[in-house]
Structure formats: C-alpha cells, structure tokens
Amino acid sequence: MAEPGRGRLERAREDYLAHLAVERGLSDHTLAAYAADLRRYTSYLSDRGHRSLSGVAEEDVASFAEALRSGSDGRTALAASSASRVIAAVRGWHRFALAEGLTTIDPSAEVRAPAPSRRLPKAISVEEVERLLEAASLGEGPVPLRDRALLELLYGTGARISEAVGLAVDDLWLDDEAPALRLYGKGRKERMVPVGRYAAEAIEAYLVRGRPELARAGRGNAALFLNTRGNALSRQSAWAALQAAAARSGVAEHISPHTLRHSFATHLLAGGADVRVVQELLGHASVTTTQIYTQVTAQTLREVYASAHPRARG
C-alpha cells in the first residue's frame, strides 16, 4: 500500500524495482537490499517536499549522501562502504527515470558518496622502537646481528620490507662521510636514501661478523640479508624475525614491517621534517600519499594538548 503523500515517488520506485527483477534478473536478496535503500531515499525526498522525481535537484541527492554518513535524516549513520552502496542504487534509479522519460535530467550524475576516511597508519613510540631494536640483537651468532641490522635499516630509512630484502651488498655506501643506500621501489623506481649512524653501525657489524658466516652455507649470493642456508632472506622470514623481536621486547602493539615505515615517517614529521622531504625518502609518487602522516602528527598534538593543558579539559 502506498504511503500517504508519497504515491508518485513510491510508484516510480516500484517500477524500477520491477525492472531490476525482470530485465536484470536480480536475486530476491539483492532486490530486498535495493528496496530498503530506495525506501530511505524516498522518505528523505518526501520530507524535503518532493512528490515525484521530476523536481529533484543535485543538491537533494548530495544532501542525502551526506545524511547517510551523518544520520541527520533520523536514520542510522552508515559506514562509507554502505553509503556508497545506497548512492549506487539512487543513481541507478535516476538513470532509469531519465531513460523512461519520467525526468528530463539526472540530478545524481555528479554526486558521489562521501569518500571513506583513510585509516591512519599506526606508529609506535621512539621508546618502543628502541626496545624492539634491542630485543632483535639478543642471542649469539650471526642471526641476531642480521636481525638487528634489518630492523635498524627498516626504521632508519623507512624502506618497505620488499625493498630491504631486495638489497644487494653493492647497494650500500657505508664508507663515505654520508652513508647511503640504493632502494628499488614500486616499478623498480630507484632512489638514494641516507643511512643514520645507528643503522650504519648495525649493518657494518652484520657485514663483518654475521654475513660471512651465513654466506658460507650458500653459493655466493649477492643479497645483503641472508638466511641460514646462505640464500636471500625472504619477506616471510624477515616478518618472522620482526615478530620474534616484538615478542621479546614486550611491545604490546601488533607490529609489522610497515609499522616501522609508519614510525619512521611520523617521527620525522614530529621532529620538524618537511613533508616533501619525507615523500622523497619514502619513495611516494605523490605528496598526497605522504600527507596522511601529517594527520597522525596533528592527531598526536591534539591528544597531548587535551591531556596536558589545564584549560583543555571540561
């Protein structure tokens, strides 16, 4: 039964749902989802005084898209993925109405669902990094030397794990006054990255006392980081080394190789580094990708302010 005052809108909606069922053969489950999404839209339009689709403007559709995320229409606020699904249904309905001659324009053509908020990368504190690095070097033999060098390199250069395990000994320049290494990023794009004193010392210790012992088990592999068989260290083994160090260090957060990359960028920006310098160090093609780390820094500043300033708390 049509709801009072919503006759033409509801009939247009039911015509579209019938089209989806007959012409496109959608399942009952999918049709039910479309029907629920479009009922919310129909109700929203009716509350704004619309009795048919012909008078709906782009501003109405854009406002509805915002209401999906905020719940300002009195309904449950939706996650970005769910809001995108509803807007897709709305746009399909408007395209159908235009094709059928029910309207002369498609007000939804330029409207997109609000973009999902980007998940902020997780960084650990400097103190936690230090505990992690110390834990990596616990034990005797070449493996602790290798693991400490690997983790120092990941945190000290911001390298991706694939870049680190892909390093050859010839990619290092540690004897110079300005130690550096050559990384190959996505698409084999090459970049030079400075190496800090701690990472340089850990790598040198591994090269002198650790790598020769590991290399004896293999056949002259040129990779910087070797496993106990003398072959190039795999990403999986590098990940396992990091997890073992995290367990020994007592750092409670879930740690991944990317955590050290995130921490590298976050700590640089917190120390005053320019975002474009960090972009180059990380090997990002666009500064937009790097700018997410400025959100992390700003968020940290807000948290510190809220907890420390006497006039910040209500």
Catalytic residues: 160, 186, 258, 261, 284, 293
Contacts for 309 with CB less than 8 Å, ≥ 6 apart: none
Rounded to 5°, the CA angle 135-136-140 comes to: 100
Using an 8 Å Cβ cutoff, are 83 and 116 in contact? no
Chain centre distance of CA 190: 23
* Axis crossing angle, helix 142-157 with helix 257-270, rounded to the nearest 10: 50
CA atoms of 140 and 269, how far apart (whole Å): 36
CB atoms under 10 Å from CB of 225, counted, come to: 27
CA atoms of 314 and 300, how far apart (whole Å): 19
Structure tokens at 250: 């007592």
Using an 8 Å Cβ cutoff, are 67 and 44 in contact? yes
Alpha-carbon dihedral 297, 301, 307, 313, rounded to 10 degrees: -130
Closest C-alpha among 112, 208, 121, 212 to residue 158: 121
Q: Which residues pair with 226 in a beta bridge?
A: 232
Burial class (CB in 10 A: 0-12, 13-18, 19+), 153: buried
3-state secondary structure 1-69: CCCCCCHHHHHHHHHHHHHHHHCCCCCHHHHHHHHHHHHHHHHHHHHCCCCCHHHCCHHHHHHHHHHHH
Beta strands in 79-185 (DSSP E): 172-173, 180-184
